[in-house]
């Protein structure tokens, strides 16, 4: 077909405009198809636990070291340990007072002392005195190993300023 009249030109222009519209529409539609979500989801950061108890610097790491790198007990301390354990029986409970609980944990082979009062230093002194009264030496307590920890409810109510040492004195 040859372009001869105005009508032909009009038709040509109309076709061209139509094509452009179709192009724009098609681009828009295809872009919409490949488009992802416009809004990013809120990403939750895994929370960490909070430090409730302030430990004396270096002590918790040392307590762990005492657990995994054992120092052999001297013969007298070993004898006292065997006697105390056999007296404790299957439960491992050695003594329970209002201020502390001492128990031997077979699976860990250690002595764990739970502090039940906010008067931490007094409870520690008394617990240590009790163990020494059984015949343990100061070094023996370190190498048993004996370790203090705070009762969970106590740890919630103590002042954040309190600095806690889980090791017996002199360790």
Partner 1 sequence: MADNADDLRLKNGRWFASLARPLNPQERQALLEALQKQDYQEFINVCVRNNILNPQSAFIAGLDWQDLGAEGIKIPLGEPLPAEPKQAPSGTGVGTAAVGIGLAALSRPEKYEDFKKRATNYAEGVAQQWEKEEEKILKKPPKTPDPNRPASRQEAYGRAEKYYHDLLAGGNTKQAKKWLSENPGDIHLAQAVDRHELQRRNLTYEEFQSIRQRYLERTPDPQAKELADREMNDLMLLHSHDRAREWAKKYNDPALGAAVERKRLLDEESINRSRIRRTYHNSRLGKQISRTRDKFKESRTGRGLSRVNKSFWAAVGLPSAVANRLSQTGAGRLISRAKDRFSSALGTPGRAINKVKNRLANTRLGRFAARANRARKKISNLLNPATYLQWLFKRATQGALGGAVGGVASAALSFVSGIVTTVGAAATAALGFLAAKIPFIIGKISALIGTILGLIGSLPISGPALGVIVALSVVIILFASIAGVFFPPPDAGQFPEESPYPGIAYSIACPPEAPESIPSGSNIRCDIIFIHDSSLSSVSLDDLTLVSDFPSGTELVEAQTTGNYILDPEGGIISWALSENSSFATRNETQTSYNFTYVLNPLRDITADITLSIEGLSDDSGRGDPAVGDDCTGQYTQQNSPQGNFGDPECDFTKNGLKDELDRIDRPNAEFWYLIAECESGHRPNAYFRCNADRTICTPQVTGAWGLFQMSISRPNRAPYYAGGRGPWEDQTRGAVNRNKKVINESFDYWACEEIVCRDNRSMCTSNDQYISRN
* Residue 84: half-sphere exposure toward Cβ, Cα within 13 Å: 26
Under rule CB under 8 A, residue 12 binds partner 1: yes
Strand partners, 147: 112
Q: Please, which residue, 43 or 133, has the CB nearer to partner 1?
A: 43
* Residue 105: half-sphere exposure toward Cβ, Cα within 13 Å: 12
Under rule CB under 8 A, residue 72 binds partner 1: no
Contacts to partner 1 from residues 20-39, by CB under 8 A: 20, 22-24, 26-27, 29-39
Tabulate helix, strand, coil % of the chain (nearest 5).
Answer: 45, 15, 40
Under rule CB under 8 A, residue 65 binds partner 1: yes
Under rule CB under 8 A, residue 19 binds partner 1: yes
Under rule CB under 8 A, residue 162 binds partner 1: no
Residue entry with tokens 């031997």 = 104
CA distance to 51, 60, 111, 157, 166, per residue, from 56 (Å): 13, 8, 20, 18, 8
Q: Are 102 and 127 in contact (CB under 8 A)?
A: yes
d(CA 165, CA 121): 9
Strand partners, 96: 101
How near is the Cβ of 147 to partner 1 at its closest, in Å?
8
Under rule CB under 8 A, residue 55 binds partner 1: yes
Under rule CB under 8 A, residue 105 binds partner 1: yes
Under rule CB under 8 A, residue 163 binds partner 1: no
How near is the Cβ of 29 to partner 1 at its closest, in Å?
7
With CB under 8 A as the contact rule, the residue among 52, 83, 96, 125 that binds partner 1 is 52
Name the residues that contact partner 1, by CB under 8 A: 1-3, 8, 11-12, 15-16, 18-20, 22-24, 26-27, 29-53, 55, 57-65, 67-68, 92, 103, 105-108, 112, 114, 149-153, 155-157, 160
């Amino acid at each position: 077909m040859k372009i001869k009249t105005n009508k032909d030109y009009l038709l040509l222009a109309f076709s061209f405009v139509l094509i452009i519209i179709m192009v724009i529409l098609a681009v828009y539609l295809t872009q919409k198809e490949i488009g992802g979500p416009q809004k990013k989801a809120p990403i939750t950061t895994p929370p960490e636990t909070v430090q409730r108890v302030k430990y004396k610097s270096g002590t918790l790491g040392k307590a762990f070291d005492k657990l995994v790198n054992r120092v052999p007990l001297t013969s007298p301390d070993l004898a006292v340990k065997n006697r105390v354990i056999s007296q404790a029986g299957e439960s491992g409970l050695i003594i329970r007072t209002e201020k502390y609980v001492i128990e031997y944990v077979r699976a860990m082979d250690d002595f764990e002392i739970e502090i039940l009062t906010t008067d931490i230093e007094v409870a520690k002194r008394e617990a240590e005195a009790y163990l020494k009264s059984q015949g343990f030496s100061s070094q023996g307590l370190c190498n048993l190993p004996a370790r203090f920890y705070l009762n969970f409810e106590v740890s919630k109510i103590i002042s954040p300023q309190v600095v806690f040492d889980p090791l017996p004195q002199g360790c």
